[in-house]
Structure 1
Amino acid sequence: MDVFGDLFRGVRAHGSLFGSSALTAPWALHFVDGAPLTLATVLNGAGWIVPDDGPPERLGAYETVVVRGPGTFMFVDELDTTAEPLACGEFCSTPDQGGTRHRLGWNDGAAAGAGATTLIVGAYPVRGEISRRLLDALPVVLRVEAGGTGDAVLDHLAAEVALDIPGQQVVLDRLLDWMLVCTLREWFDRPGGEPPAWWAAQRDPVVGEALRLMHSDPAAPWTVASLADRTGVSRATLAKRFADLLGEPPLTYLTRWRMTLAADVLVEQKSATVAAVARAVGYADPFGFSAAFKRVRGVNPTEFRRTAGGVAGR
């Protein structure tokens, strides 16, 4: 498993399509859910994405933005639109168990084909500490222009939205997942961009392989020597290249990743003992695990489970 794939574990569309709408000016849709991640793309026409925090972004045909919550945003025909905002929350979506679940529902029935703007919006619940590392790497709004690898996915989305057949929501969910992955990859790889350190490090033949090894089997008894042996370089070479690209030694990175995994297990598996969680992430001694967890997370595993579990429940 690579780093990017691992961070996507808790990012999945599930009944998450807001809807597709043919809009005629003037319009103003206010998406009030504040979902952790929202993908918005225009199939034809154009409009403006206006986030609570950040400058507006014009969105043309086959252009896509991803908005990071918890702030809300609007989609308007013009920045000085005369339209009264339609709150897409009461009419468009219903929060469910800490995530966001959406239903088709908003539509401008008067819109005709000529001059109409067609918008598709999907929102993503993001659960757990693993996927939070992905959110931390994103700005409030990121924009990807047309002409990239996501265009083919949009063709499929447009065709599927026009249908009303069994299994449609499952297909739309998977297409939205595909679209989100394509959008983030293109944004991280954009010329002149500043992707997170782990994104660039994955491309390095030595550090990338070390990362894959640690993410594929985080509980293994990795040492710098064993990682260097598997990557075909000396310990000194691995340590230097790893620190140069990621800003920390390999085993420091591994400890932080193990504690991230442990944090999700503590919350999601209530019956698991601290000792069992310790073993799951490579610690034979639960006391050593607890000390490492507190050093990284600031609280011991039991306290983290109590506080984080309460927040997740609410």
Structure 2
Amino acid sequence: MDAASAALDRLRGQGAFVLRCELEAPFLVQVEDLAVVSVVAPVRGALLIRPPDLPEARVHPGEVAVIPQLTAYSVRPIDGAGDSRAVRILPGGHCADEHGNDLSAQMWLDTRVWGTRLGGSHAFVTGSYDRADQLGGLLLERLRAIAVAPAPPQLLSLLTAELATDEPGQAAVLDRVVDLLLAATLRAWFADPEHEAPAGWHAQRDPMIGPVLDLMHGRPAEPWTVGALADRVGWSRATVARRFTELVGLPPMAYLTRWRMMLAADLLCRTTRSGAQVGRDVGYDNAFAFSTAFKRQHGVAPQSFRARDSRNR
């Protein structure tokens, strides 16, 4: 499992708020929901997404935009001015006019359908995540712009078809499809060398370091040393250490420790396992050694980290 796949797997299960928007131009939607990441896929009509501090993005049908966490951004038609009367999207999926008056009753057109008119000039599907755990956050922190890439047609077709029904298990299906759209878009975006990718992203393709990363990610509890990893991939210890640092940006053991501590943080937040059990899951038989390493990475002891996460939910 590569770093990208592992991070995206951690985003999965957080649950996305998914809906279809049907709007008649001109319109102006001011998004202020504070989502940690959002996915926007036009179905009909192209969109202009304009954040205050990043380059604007133009998104056409057949493409997907991934929007990092922003204080606010606007969505309007790409081929005309937006309505001066903005509709604000607030945390929790609430919508209001520019004066704060609630518009929810008039803008919910159907189950999971929101907007001003069914069959309007523009339609798009959006999914927003209000939470990302440690590994998902590690991936998203490298997203310094709105990422736009072609969408797999079969995923868009499945997503729009699923939104048109109201069957048991729909939320789970929608979550998985939006996860796939997110993964496909980020994979295409970070494949471009002009975009700064997370540590280890491009290294995964290296014939030497790719297998080393697979071992670390797939078996983090193993008592790995640089020598043991080098033996497994059939290269010398010095060569592995040097090339790993060149491609990943960290020495092998420093990267492994960081990876283990990110996994541990997620286990503390997502499970009821004790701190000692979590430590063993990521390769620490000694609870004190685990607590010391965790505090060095996250600034607090494991139980304090868990308690803080519970308060923030």
* Same fold per superposition (TM over 0.5): yes
Q: Does 1:138 align with 2:143?
A: yes
Aligned to 2:302: 301
* TM-score of the aligned structures, taking structure 2 as reference length: 0.85
Map 1:50-129 to 2 at 5 A.
50-77=50-77, 80-89=81-90, 92=93, 104-109=112-117, 111-112=119-120, 116-129=121-134
Asked if residue 161 in structure 1 is aligned to residue 167 in structure 2, the reply is: no
Q: Structure 2: which 5+ residue stretches go unaligned? A: 96-107
**Is contact 1:265–1:277 with CA below 8 Å preserved after alignment?**
yes
Q: Deviations over 1:127-162 (max 9, x none)?
A: 321211111121242222x4xx52331132233333
Note if contact 1:7-1:131 (Cα within 8 Å) is conserved in structure 2: yes
| TM-score w.r.t. length of structure 1 | 0.84
In structure 2, the partner of 1:244 is 246
Q: 1:241 to 1:310 in 2, by over 3 A?
A: same
String of CA shifts for 1:56-110, please: whole Å, max 9, x gaps. 222222222111114232211257423411223489459xxxxxxx972412226
Does the 8 Å CA contact 1:13/1:176 hold for their aligned counterparts? no
Instruction: Give the Å deviation of 1:168.
Output: 3.6
The answer for the alignment partner of 1:277 in structure 2 is 278
C-alpha distance in 2 between matches for 1:191 and 1:247:
16
- 2:211 paired residue among 205, 209, 212: 209
1:150-204 deviations in Å (ceiling 9; x for gaps) = 2331132233333444444333222211111111111111253332331101111
1:160 and 1:168 in contact (8 A); partners too = yes
Q: Identify which range, 288-297 or 156-165, moves more after superposition.
A: 156-165
Counterparts of 2:232 and 2:19, CA distance in 1 = 48
CA pair 260-239 structure 1, distance change in 2 beyond 3 A: same
Say whether the 8 Å CA contact 2:55–2:145 is kept in structure 1.
Answer: no
Q: Give the direction of change, closer, same or farther, for the CA distance of 1:206–1:305 in structure 2 (3 Å limit).
A: same
Instruction: Give 1:97's aligned residue.
Output: none
Say whether 1:232 aligns with 2:240.
Answer: no
Query: 1:198 aligns to what SS in structure 2?
Result: coil
The amino acid of 1:201's aligned partner reads: A
Q: Say whether residues 1:3 and 2:3 are aligned partners.
A: yes
Aligned to 1:34: 34
Instruction: Say if 1:228 and 1:160 are closer, same or farther in 2 by CA, change over 3 A.
Output: same
Q: Is the 8 A contact 1:48 1:75 kept in 2?
A: yes
In structure 1, C-alpha distance between the alignment counterparts of 2:296 and 2:88, rounded to whole Å = 44
How far did 1:6 drift? Answer: 1.3
Residue 35 of structure 1 contacts residue 125 of structure 1 at CA under 8 Å; is this kept in 2?
A: yes
Gaps of 5+ in 1: 95-101
Counterparts of 1:91 and 1:5, CA distance in 2: 28
Q: Which moved more, 1:72-81 or 1:46-55?
A: 72-81
One-letter amino acid of the counterpart of residue 299, structure 1 = V
1:208-256 CA-partner distances (Å, limit 9, x unpaired): 1111101111011111111001111010111011011112211111111
1:99: which partner in 2?
Answer: none
- Confirm or deny: 8 A CA contact 2:33 2:91 kept in the other structure: no
Instruction: State the one-letter code of the partner of 1:189.
Output: A
Q: CA contact under 8 A between 2:2 and 2:217: conserved in structure 1?
A: yes
- Residue 84 and residue 194 in structure 1: after superposition, are their counterparts in 2 closer, same or farther (change >3 A)? same
User: Are residues 166 and 248 of structure 1, via their aligned partners in 2, closer, same or farther at CA, if it must alter by over 3 Å?
Assistant: closer
**C-alpha distance in structure 2 between counterparts of 1:258 and 1:32, whole Å:** 34
Q: Which amino acid aligns with 2:141?
A: D
Give the residue type in structure 1 aligned to 2:136.
S
Distance 2:248 2:15 in 1: 36
Q: Is the 8 A contact 2:22 2:113 kept in 1?
A: no
Cα 1:303–1:204, aligned 2, differ >3 Å: closer, same or farther? same
